[in-house]
């Protein structure tokens, strides 16, 4: 009997007890043997399974199948509901906009389409929610906060108070993180879909066939407008030995339930440095190896130097200007051969994380069949309207090579949907785009670095306020970092803002508005800011232009 594709549903399970990829293969085989299961994928890295079933299939049969495959246990995260079954039945050819991918760009596009009175269909090959909620922002930031609590309890600057803390169960912290991810995926993605009847969601693999026709799981789909929002994946450089050596990417590092004694991180960008500090504070010894002259290499030079110094003060080994000559070994026994500071060295570790950037998920889409151009790194080339070289196809989010932030993806997804449905009326606008790295002290910035501003030909003045001059930092007994403003000397407009401070991300938004709307540094200096807040650092930095910061009073107007 032929199955009805409209009755297929996805069930997500979290699985405990796996120790390697071979475990995942065995569990997937067991799940596929359950009556009603049409497809099952299991990931050791994310400790999860996605099972495609034909209703009705009791979820306890799936849980039993997992336990029967070995010493594993499973918990259902997402099971089919009558409402989702009905929504999945939307005919493939009826949607005004078909969206390939299920992350933030895709959801922003679908919601924008609904707001415009159109229908949209999201087709996702993997897990609903994309990178941010599943393997990126959400899991990393909650683990970072946990490590910060541990560090804060053990390092107290106040007299008369005794604090202590110790890590008793790292796996429990990881499992709590997994629960948060599942809750937010449901609340911010699955539940949101329920409020948009004109948007449907289904699992499936999209690919362009010969002649440019779009297929889903091999079946041609008739649709007039397509939006590609397939995101990006971890990219690794061609280091000798790396491809043959099992190691972590950021996803696997955040999924691990055991702390390494010594972690080596190749890559000192935001992702690598965040995980490095988190594990350092949890109790690992950590070495960071960065090829460029500084960590967080896209930031202002003062930020790069200041953050590296803060991390070294905590006990992290940070090496920059490194050439990794060879990687070898296995989990528990790695050897990383490097050239640093004019000398050669072999570093031994029991865990290795490679965090050297991300590349667009385009390799399996068959884009050339549809006449969609990509750049040298595989990212889809789009114009200011998010339109590709094929006028019927748009793209948004990480797959286009835009700055890989969830808010950029959401913005470009909405722009792409509106232009696809109503003509190219809206232009992508990334003026005043902020960047935040969630280290401690944190990094937040917007606009041009001082070096970039000077290269632009502008007459530049800069003001740097050390946090030893910020009353809030003094009262908190934590004066690590600074606020730096880069200003056009002739117009007095803010060109860039760069903050190294605890909770830097909570301070940056004022300068985002300033750059986006042409607010001058004098406007910032004259604006009342509440006393004993970190935001006051922006005002004091503005007042410090041309002044010695130590001469500023907290009452200065």
- Joined tokens for residue 57: 């299939």
Q: Which of 212, 171, 201 is nearest to 84 (CA)?
A: 201
Residue 189 falls in the annotated catalytic set = no
Strands 442-447 and 351-354: unpaired
CA distance linking residue 294 with residue 292, whole number of Å: 6
Neighbours of 16 (CB within 10 A): 15
Angle, to 10 degrees, between the axis of helix 59-68 and the axis of helix 21-32?
Answer: 140
Cα separation of 510 and 491, whole Å? 19
Alpha-carbon span 445 to 432, nearest angstrom:
10
How far is Cα 207 from Cα 226, in angstroms, rounded to an integer?
12
CA distance 301 to 241: 32
Active site residue 1: no
> Which is nearest to 497 in space by CA: 553, 438, 454, 433?
433
Residue (of 43, 102, 128, 137) closest to 406 by Cα position: 137
Query: How many beta carbons lie within 10 A of that of residue 380, not counting itself?
Result: 26
Place of tokens 């009558």: 82
Beta strand pairing call for 393-395 and 434-437:
unpaired
Q: Verify whether residue 18 is a known catalytic residue.
A: yes
Q: Is 235 left (phi over 0), alpha (psi -120 to 50) or beta?
A: beta
Structure tokens at 484: 């730096």
Catalytic-role residue among 23, 143, 279, 316: 23
Asked if 170 is an active-site residue, the reply is no
Annotated active-site residue in 44, 72, 196, 394: 72
The sheet carrying 214-216 orders its strands as: 206-208, 214-216, 219-220
Choosing from 128, 132, 282, 404, the catalytic residue is: 132
Long-range CB contacts (< 8 A, 24+ apart) of 35-44?
35/61, 36/61, 37/62, 38/3, 38/8, 41/126, 42/15, 44/18, 44/20
Catalytic site includes residue 278: no
Q: Which two tokens stand for residue 432?
A: 């005043």
Catalytic-residue membership of 279? no
Token readout for 18 is 């796996």
Tell me if residue 531 is catalytic.
no
Query: Are 201 and 122 contacting, i.e. CB atoms less than 8 angstroms apart?
Result: yes
DSSP 248: B
Which one is catalytic: 18, 128, 143, 279? 18
What DSSP designation does 288 have? E
316 is a catalytic site residue: no
Asked whether the CA dihedral 331, 333, 335, 336 is positive or negative, the reply is positive
Residues annotated as catalytic (active site), given as ranges: 18, 20, 23, 72, 132, 137, 554-555
């Amino acid at each position: 009997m032929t199955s009805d594709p409209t009755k297929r549903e996805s069930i997500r399970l979290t699985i405990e007890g796996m120790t390697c990829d071979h475990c995942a293969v065995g569990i997937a085989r067991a799940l596929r043997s359950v009556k009603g299961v049409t497809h099952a994928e299991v990931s050791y890295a994310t400790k999860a399974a996605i099972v495609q079933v034909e209703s009705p299939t009791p979820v306890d049969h799936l849980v039993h199948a997992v336990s029967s495959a070995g010493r594993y246990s499973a918990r259902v995260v997402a099971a089919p509901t009558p409402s989702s079954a009905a929504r999945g039945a939307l005919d493939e050819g009826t949607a005004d906009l078909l969206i390939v991918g299920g992350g933030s760009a895709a959801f922003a596009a679908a919601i924008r389409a609904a707001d415009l009175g159109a229908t949209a269909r999201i087709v996702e090959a993997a897990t609903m929610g994309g990178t941010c909620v599943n393997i990126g922002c959400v899991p990393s930031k909650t683990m970072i906060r946990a490590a910060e609590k541990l560090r804060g309890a053990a390092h107290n600057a106040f007299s008369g108070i005794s604090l202590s803390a110790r890590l008793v169960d790292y796996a429990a912290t990881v499992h709590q993180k997994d629960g948060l991810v599942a809750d937010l995926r449901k609340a911010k993605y699955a539940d949101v879909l329920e409020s948009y009847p004109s948007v449907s969601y289904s699992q499936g693999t999209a690919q362009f066939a010969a002649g440019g026709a779009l297929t889903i799981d091999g079946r041609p789909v008739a649709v007039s407008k397509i939006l590609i929002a397939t995101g990006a994946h971890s990219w690794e450089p061609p280091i000798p030995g790396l491809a043959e050596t099992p190691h972590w990417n950021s996803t696997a590092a955040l999924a691990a339930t055991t702390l390494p004694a010594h972690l080596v991180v190749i890559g000192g960008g935001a992702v690598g440095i965040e995980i490095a500090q988190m594990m350092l504070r949890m109790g690992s010894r950590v070495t960071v190896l960065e090829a460029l002259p500084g960590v967080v290499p896209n930031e202002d030079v003062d930020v790069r130097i200041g953050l590296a110094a803060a991390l070294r003060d905590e006990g992290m080994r940070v090496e920059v200007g490194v050439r990794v000559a060879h990687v070898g070994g296995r989990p528990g026994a790695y050897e990383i051969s490097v050239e640093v500071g004019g000398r050669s060295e072999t570093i031994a570790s029991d865990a290795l994380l490679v965090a050297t950037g991300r590349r667009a998920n385009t390799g399996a889409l068959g884009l050339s069949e549809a006449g969609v151009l990509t750049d040298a790194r595989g990212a889809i080339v789009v114009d200011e309207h998010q339109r590709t070289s094929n006028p019927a196809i748009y793209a948004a989010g990480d797959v286009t090579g835009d700055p890989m932030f969830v808010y950029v993806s959401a913005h470009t997804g909405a722009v792409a949907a509106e232009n696809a449905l109503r003509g190219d009326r809206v232009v992508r606008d990334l003026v005043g785009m902020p960047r935040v790295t969630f280290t401690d002290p944190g990094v937040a910035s917007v606009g041009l670095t001082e070096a970039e501003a000077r290269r632009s030909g502008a007459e530049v003045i800069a003001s740097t306020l050390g946090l030893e001059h910020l009353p809030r930092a003094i009262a908190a007994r934590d004066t690590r970092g600074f606020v730096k403003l880069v200003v056009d000397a002739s117009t007095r407009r803010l060109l860039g803002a760069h903050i190294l401070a605890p909770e830097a991300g909570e301070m940056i938004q004022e300068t985002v508005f300033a750059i986006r709307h042409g607010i001058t540094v004098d406007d910032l200096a004259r604006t009342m800011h509440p006393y004993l807040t970190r935001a006051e650092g922006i005002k004091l930095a503005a007042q410090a232009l041309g002044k010695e910061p130590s001469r500023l009073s907290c009452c200065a107007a």
